[in-house]
């Protein structure tokens, strides 16, 4: 019979976590994050930096600053992370017009992987201590601020891009927490190391990093391509480039993140290269059933079929050419989703207004959806920023 204990050695927690597939760990107490964090969250909400996320309310934000709200017997937080930088998977450069999906979403949905591994760690902790441990397993619920827990537990430090940067891993780490009723020696928070560097702020094509440590959600490509359910504001579309799900630019530019150790965790590997760099014509022509069978079990499902078709249209407008006008025209004429039809019309205007005008005028006559009609009207009246001047 193992001895029953309320405590566990800090180093042993990391060992057990590694055995459960959680390579990165930090420990902090379950004490409240208090008004320091609460004030930042409320201030960001009031300034509109979290607009577009209706669930991110002041009440929810304040609740999330006190882990004891989740379970009153909580004593410690074990912050965990799975690193996922894999430099071997690259754009195939095979002549196919491809978009980009951000790395965290290439493989199996990270929520599933983290939860499964946290459950395993929970079991290992119970057999180590010889007692039942009350624990909550949290990933992305916003019932706790994942990055605040990671920072206070010394798992990593806040970069100016608001990401948690982990020693030797950079920000290529997905985060979760176990809130447990056992005592574990807490770690010491790490000092931020960005120094004078502002490359992440400078690289963001939409200017979403409005200040050091401040992200304006409505401008972030990640928000626009994943969370937004409506039309992407036309003036911002040209800046989305080839991204069709999320964006990694503020991470890729970071010198610290750039020096990350490569990982070989198959759970983050794409099933095929099309799950990392999807052919844009494929995204436009697949029906909903094909979308589901291609992306089920991955985080891409969150953007939904209509969202991915919308994003693919924008990406074609940005990186495509006259050769893509035919498929765009077919999309405007017959895609079941108005979002896809409207954005495809925009893409036609962006690639070549002169060559697209006649077709768009005809499609305008048949179109019944007012949002698509006004997208076409905007193109025909020359409101769309052309990629290059038509000859």
The residues that touch ligand B12, with contacts defined as CB under 6 A, are 37, 40-41, 44, 53, 102, 104, 139-142, 145-148, 158, 161-164, 171, 173-176, 192, 213, 215, 217, 220, 222-223, 227, 246-248, 250
Q: Measured from the CB of residue 175, what is the shortest distance to ligand B12 in angstroms? A: 4
Q: What value does the CA radius of gyration of the chain take, rounded to a whole number of Å?
A: 23
Say how far apart CA 267 and CA 210 lie, in whole Å: 34
Least distance (Å) between residue 230 CB and ligand B12: 15
Q: Nearest approach, Cβ of 234 to ligand B12 (angstroms)?
A: 20
Nearer to ligand B12, 142 or 301 (CB): 142
Long-range residue pairs from 55-64, CB within 8 A, at least 24 positions apart, any chain: 55/142, 56/142, 60/142, 60/143, 62/38, 63/143, 64/142, 64/143, 64/144, 64/145
Q: Could you tell me the smallest distance in angstroms from the CB atom of residue 142 to ligand B12?
A: 4
Question: What is the full DSSP assignment across 78-146?
Answer: EEEEEE---TT-----SS--B-EE-GGGSSS-HHHHHHHHHHHHHHHHHHHHTS---EEEESS-SSS-H
CB 100 within 8 A of CB 277: yes
Residues in the chain: 391
Q: Closer to ligand B12 at the Cβ: 40 or 203?
A: 40
CB of 325 to ligand B12, least distance (A): 30
Residue nearest ligand B12 (C-beta atom): 246
Residue pair 25/38 in contact by the 8 Å Cβ criterion? no
Cα separations in angstroms, 64 against 15, 30, 143, 179, 262: 28, 12, 5, 13, 33
Of residues 245 and 325, the one with the C-beta less far from ligand B12:
245
Min dist CB 248 to ligand B12, Å, is: 5
CB 85 within 8 A of CB 260: yes
The nearer residue to ligand B12, 176 or 342, going by C-beta atoms, is: 176
- CA distances to 120, 187, 196 from 7, rounded to whole Å, are 19, 15, 41
Taking the C-alpha atoms of residue 7 and residue 25, their distance in angstroms, rounded to an integer, is: 17
The candidate with the shortest Cα–Cα distance to 72, out of 180, 166, 150, is 180
Give catalytic status of residue 88 as yes or no: no
- Tokens of residue 162, six digits: 């608001």
Of 23, 59, 140, 369, catalytic: 140
Residue 16 or residue 118: which is nearer to ligand B12 going by CB? 118
CB closer to ligand B12 out of 158 and 268: 158
| Catalytic residue positions, numbered | 140
């Amino acid at each position: 019979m193992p001895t029953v204990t309320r405590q566990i050695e800090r180093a042993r927690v990391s060992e057990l976590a590694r055995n459960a597939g959680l390579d990165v760990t930090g420990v902090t107490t379950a004490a409240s994050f208090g008004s320091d964090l609460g004030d930042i969250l409320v201030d960001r909400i009031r300034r509109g930096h979290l607009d577009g996320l209706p669930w991110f309310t002041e009440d929810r934000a304040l609740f999330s600053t006190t882990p004891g709200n989740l379970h009153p017997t909580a004593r410690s937080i074990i912050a965990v992370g799975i690193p996922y930088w894999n430099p071997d998977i690259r754009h195939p450069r095979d002549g196919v017009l491809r978009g980009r999906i951000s790395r965290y979403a290439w493989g199996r949905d990270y929520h599933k992987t983290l939860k499964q591994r946290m459950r395993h760690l929970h079991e290992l902790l119970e057999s180590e201590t010889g007692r039942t441990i009350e624990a909550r397993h949290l990933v992305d619920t916003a019932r706790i601020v994942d990055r605040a827990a990671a920072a206070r537990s010394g798992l990593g430090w806040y970069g100016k891009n608001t990401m948690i940067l982990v020693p030797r891993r950079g920000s290529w780490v997905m985060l979760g927490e176990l809130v447990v009723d056992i005592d574990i020696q807490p770690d010491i928070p790490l000092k931020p190391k960005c120094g004078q560097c502002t490359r992440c702020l400078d690289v963001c094509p939409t200017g979403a990093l409005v200040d050091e440590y401040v992200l304006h959600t409505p401008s972030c490509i990640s928000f626009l391509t994943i969370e937004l359910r409506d039309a992407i504001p036309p003036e911002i579309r040209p800046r989305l480039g080839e991204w069709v799900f999320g964006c990694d630019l503020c991470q890729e530019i970071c010198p610290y993140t750039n020096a990350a150790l490569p990982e070989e965790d198959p759970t983050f590997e794409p099933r095929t290269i099309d799950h990392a760099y999807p052919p844009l014509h494929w995204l436009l022509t697949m029906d909903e059933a094909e979308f589901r069978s291609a992306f089920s079990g991955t985080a891409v499902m969150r953007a939904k079929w209509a969202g991915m078709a919308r994003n693919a249209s924008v990406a074609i407008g940005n990186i495509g050419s006259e050769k893509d006008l035919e498929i765009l025209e077919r999309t405007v004429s017959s895609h079941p989703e108005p979002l896809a039809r409207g954005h495809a019309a925009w893409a036609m205007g962006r690639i070549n207004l002169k060559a697209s005008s006649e077709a768009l005028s005809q499609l305008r006559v048949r179109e019944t959806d007012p949002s698509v009609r006004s997208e076409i009207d905007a193109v025909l009246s020359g409101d769309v920023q052309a990629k290059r001047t038509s000859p």
